Amino acid sequence: MQTGLEQQLIELELYLLKSEVRSSVEELASLIHDDFLEFGGSGIRFGKEEVLMRLPKERCPEFCATDFELRVLTPDLAQLLYRASMIKPDEFITRYSLRSSLWKKVETIGR
């Protein structure tokens, strides 16, 4: 049974996988933390700035995410683990990966 936090983070993670979100610098900038760091399949590191420059220009792959697991690390930090499959545009190969994302609760003014 999912907790409210787990459901919220799953929805946010799935939202980030949508093509309309991945193609929007504004949406990505609002969801990705300034200290964001990702290791791509090639082992190359990407920060927020690189993602905002690169991702909106790419054709979005088809994603499927399953088997979510939430780990609450501190009262304001959680880790979401899941399995993902991806098919890149113009390819017929399904790529599988184990994914992990950290979500930090931040206070925002005006919300």
Q: 54 near 38, Cβ under 8 Å?
A: no
Phi, psi dihedral angles at 108 (to 5 degrees): -120, 140
Q: Which long-range contacts (CB under 8 A, 24 or more apart) does 26-30 make?
A: 28/52, 28/55, 28/56
At residue 77, the pLDDT reads 94
pLDDT tens readout for residues 72-91 = 999 999 999 999 999 988 88
The mean of the pLDDT values for the chain is 90
* Total-model pTM: 0.85
pLDDT tens digit at each of 111 positions of the chain: 668 999 999 999 999 999 999 999 999 999 999 999 998 878 899 999 999 999 999 888 899 999 999 999 999 999 999 999 999 888 889 999 999 999 998 876 654
